[in-house]
Chains A and B, each alone.
Chain A
Amino acid sequence: MSLREVAGRIPVSLREIAAERMTDLILNSKNAGRIPSDLAKTILYYWQRDQLASEVGLEALVKAAVTAEPEKTVTLFAEQLGLKELVVMLQG
């Protein structure tokens, strides 16, 4: 299952907070250098347009978060967002 599907399954009511939390995760990550340049530019594209909480914006953030901080991303989804059902998809 793709990370696009993970993004798509984040409830609309949680999209803003998910975008905020994942943004903080990648901005504060010591492993942010692992995030590919093209993916980083995609995030900037959606950030500039205030669309990081859209499905495509969230997809980019999920990809970046999983790349930089896989374990913290799982914790974020399971504990902070209460989306345990998506954790398996993240790990797949």
Chain B
Amino acid sequence: MNGLTAASFGVEFVPGDLFWRTTYYAVQAEKLGFNRIWITDHFNNRNVYVTLALVSTYTSQIGLGPGVTNPYLVHPVMTAQAVASLNEMAPGRIACGIGAGDRTTLDMVGVEQKKPLSAIREAVEIIRGLTSGSGAEFQGEVFRITKGARFRFRVDNPIPIYIGAQGPRMLALAAEVGDGVLINASHPRDIEEAVQHVRKGAEASGKGPKDLAVVAYTSFSVAEDPVRAREAVTPVVAYIVAGCPEVVLSRHGILFVNATKIRDAIVSGKFKDAFSSVTDEMVEAFSISGTPDVCVEKVGRLFKTGVTELVTGSPIGPRIRRSMNLIGSEVIPNFKEGT
């Protein structure tokens, strides 16, 4: 499973913060026993690869990767080049996370999210071809690469490709062509549903359970005071609910009209209204939030669904340093072998 143990923990950092603060937390993550750091890739934050390069120089063992990039804003040959370069700085520690991108963000810069399934399938083939040295001559629906498109340097380690997926077809595709699937969900019901599609995709391509990492990419907030944990996660949950398909909302008994209310408030810049409309049911459905004991119980439920890695994603908690220490001392030890 790409060198990860049966119960691996990743952490997501958003490089919207100062470079050194993100790097401080990355070093902390390594010290606390996290297995991988995912850095988000959005044009309006600091650059993901600059951040990863710096993080790689201050860490020595923890896995690193973009979590996730997309093939629309960054051409797959450039993604391949970036992860291959990082692999030279941190040999064997790099994974490439890629997904179809966020439509709202792509709209901002006038980029069409066309043929997302084909785009991901082709991007994976190109990245894998270039980083494995086999070349990337390719004629696809979205991308075309000529025979001469090769690196002028060698990549010594295989770079696993993880695919961010939500819908049934993308989940199945991710399992078929990826080394890992990043499932954007925090509740066992959503993960169980996703894992079914992942298994179908894996079976179709002849992969066994150990050939594929299945990652729950959660919205996580831990604090000794559950009220503070909830306050920290509320804005994140508001955005998740606002963009959530009706079928997923109804799975959790959340009315579409309430999600629409939150979305309308966000779109019109009334964030206070949006955040105050977030209910306890929404927080429960779309985050892992609470005291360390509560988080341990929820994480345990997720690992029972078949996921092999859990990512503690934004916001992590009201104070990142403190919350990471809580995860490292009171959550992770419950899921490591021999504990």
Measured CB to CB, the residues of A under 8 A from B are: 23-24, 27-28, 32-33, 35, 37, 40-41, 43-45, 47-48
Among B27, B58, B59, B320, the residue within 8 A (CB) of A27 is: B320
Residues of chain A contacted by B23 (CB below 8 angstroms): 44
Measured CB to CB, the residues of B under 8 A from A are: 18-21, 23-24, 27, 58-59, 319-322
A33 touches B24 (CB 8 A): no
Residues of chain A contacted by B59 (CB below 8 angstroms): 48
A32 touches B18 (CB 8 A): yes
Among B20, B58, B319, the residue within 8 A (CB) of A28 is: B319
Among A32, A37, A47, the residue within 8 A (CB) of B27 is: A47
A41 touches B321 (CB 8 A): no
Main secondary structure of the interface of B (DSSP, over half): helix
28 A/B residue pairs, CB under 8 Å, sorted by A? A23-B321, A24-B319, A24-B321, A24-B322, A27-B21, A27-B24, A27-B319, A27-B320, A32-B18, A32-B21, A35-B20, A37-B19, A40-B18, A40-B19, A41-B20, A43-B20, A44-B20, A44-B23, A44-B24, A44-B27, A44-B58, A45-B58, A47-B24, A47-B27, A47-B58, A48-B27, A48-B58, A48-B59
In the complex, A44 Cα to B58 Cα: how many Å? 7
Residues of chain B contacted by A28 (CB below 8 angstroms): 319
A41-B20, A48-B59 given. 17 additional CB < 8 A pairs? A24-B321, A24-B322, A27-B21, A27-B24, A27-B319, A27-B320, A27-B321, A28-B319, A33-B18, A37-B19, A40-B18, A40-B19, A43-B20, A44-B23, A44-B27, A44-B58, A48-B58
5 smallest CB-CB distances across A and B, nearest first, come from A40-B20, A48-B58, A48-B27, A44-B58, A27-B321
Residues of chain A contacted by B24 (CB below 8 angstroms): 27, 43-44, 47
Chain B CB within 10 Å, residue with most, of A32, A40, A45, A48: A48
In the complex, A51 Cα to B206 Cα: how many Å? 50
**Which residue of the partner chain B has the closest CB to A43?**
B20
In the complex, A41 Cα to B20 Cα: how many Å? 7
**Which residue of the partner chain B has the closest CB to A50?**
B31
**Which residue of the partner chain A has the closest CB to B31?**
A50
CB distance from B51 to the nearest CB of A (A): 13
In the complex, A41 Cα to B27 Cα: how many Å? 12
Residues of chain B contacted by A40 (CB below 8 angstroms): 18-20
Residues of chain A contacted by B20 (CB below 8 angstroms): 35, 37, 40-41, 43-44
In the complex, A43 Cα to B24 Cα: how many Å? 9
Residues of chain B contacted by A48 (CB below 8 angstroms): 27, 58-59
CB distance from A76 to the nearest CB of B (A): 16
In the complex, A44 Cα to B320 Cα: how many Å? 16
